[in-house]
């Protein structure tokens, strides 16, 4: 698999760039929340913890977010974009099939699996996003759409087929990461290696997606 850069604090980017003190403070809160939610979930995370992680006092929270629920929705968006940016930073020097294969390797890497607080929110937060208000679901859907917009043009299919395969790939990779985090290192590595091979074949057209068979079509 492709050798990856260490997934460290250097990849925690101010995605809003330099701006006013208020926007910088808001971004610090978002960064802290995105990490804390991914590490321990929505229910176990308190506003006090997030503000402490951000180096701020609890009283300043409501100047930036109306509620914990709104913070969660924004943190999901932030986490989706941040982890997507990190994945692409690993493969930005590549093109064509090499880009796709390295992108899969990055998602299924030790660096990604070992840092739930910095990784893709799909393995960490999807059950809680599904239970949350529509804001979190909408934020994730928008983030996923941005990821698909960047991945699908690199696949050798028309947009509909590329998106179909990309969604299947995300489901397989996220499931592998989720399971890997519960397994011993040897079993985890073997699982991710097998899934990486299957997903690469799927995205590059080396494996077909069988159309579902209806009862009337069965022989």
Q: What is the pLDDT of residue 211?
A: 55
| CA 36 – CA 14 distance, rounded (Å) | 17
Q: What is the pLDDT of residue 102?
A: 97
Residue 111 in tokens: 């660096």
Using a cut of 0.85, tell me whether the model's pTM lies above it: no
Q: What is the pLDDT of residue 219?
A: 39
* Residue 104: how many other CB atoms lie within 10 Å: 27
pLDDT reading at 74 higher than 90? yes
List pLDDT tens digits, range 79-118: 999 999 999 999 999 999 999 999 999 999 999 999 998 8
- Per-residue confidence band for 131, with pLDDT thresholds at 50, 70 and 90: confident
List pLDDT tens digits, range 26-56: 999 999 999 999 999 999 999 999 999 999 9
| CA 67 – CA 131 distance, rounded (Å) | 16
Q: Which domains occur in the chain, in start order?
A: 69-209 (1.10.357.10)
Q: What is the pLDDT of residue 13?
A: 39
């Amino acid at each position: 698999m492709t050798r990856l850069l260490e997934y460290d604090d250097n990849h925690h980017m101010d995605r809003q760039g330099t701006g006013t003190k208020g926007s910088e403070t808001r971004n610090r809160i978002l960064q802290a929340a995105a990490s804390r939610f991914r590490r321990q979930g929505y229910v176990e995370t308190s506003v006090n913890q997030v503000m402490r992680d951000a180096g701020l006092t609890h009283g300043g929270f409501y100047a930036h977010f109306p509620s914990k629920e709104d913070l969660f929705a924004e943190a999901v968006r932030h986490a989706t974009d941040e982890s997507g940016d990190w994945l692409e930073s690993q493969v930005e020097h590549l093109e064509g099939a090499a880009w796709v294969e390295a992108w899969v390797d990055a998602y299924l890497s030790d660096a990604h699996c070992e840092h739930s607080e910095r990784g893709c929110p799909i393995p960490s937060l999807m059950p809680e996003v599904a239970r949350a208000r529509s804001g979190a679901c909408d934020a994730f859907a928008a983030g996923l759409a941005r990821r698909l917009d960047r991945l699908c043009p690199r696949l050798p299919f028309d947009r509909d087929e590329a998106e179909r395969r990309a969604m299947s790939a995300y489901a397989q990779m996220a499931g592998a990461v989720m399971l890997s985090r519960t397994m011993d290192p040897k079993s985890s590595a073997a699982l991710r290696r097998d899934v990486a091979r299957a997903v690469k074949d799927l995205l590059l057209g080396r494996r077909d997606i069988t159309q579902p068979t209806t009862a009337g079509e069965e022989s």
